[in-house]
């Protein structure tokens, strides 16, 4: 499979979109702290 389809492959396997996973992490792991979100997801 080509690399640009990898996100779709992940959705098929997890049954959850990146946005859904991010919202769950925002509540659980990142404890609703914007600085943690930026540190986790910023492009390096």
- With 0.85 as the threshold, say if the pTM is over it: no
Question: Given 3-state DSSP classes, what are the helix, strand and coil percentages for the chain, each rounded to the nearest 5?
Answer: 70, 0, 30
Predicted pLDDT at 1: 56
Among 16, 42, 17, 14, which Cα is nearest to 30's?
42
Dihedral sign, CA of 4, 24, 14, 40?
A: positive
**Predicted pLDDT of residue 35:** 94
Give me the residue spans of the domains in the chain: 3-41
Using the 8-state DSSP alphabet, how is residue 5 labeled?
G
Span 1-44, pLDDT tens digits: 588 899 899 999 999 998 999 899 999 999 999 999 899 888 87
CB 37 within 8 A of CB 26: yes
Three-state SS at 6: helix
């Amino acid at each position: 499979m080509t690399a640009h389809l990898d996100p779709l492959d992940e959705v098929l396997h997890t049954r959850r979109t990146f946005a859904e996973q991010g919202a769950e992490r925002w509540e659980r792991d990142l404890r609703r702290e914007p600085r943690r979100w930026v540190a986790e997801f910023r492009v390096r």
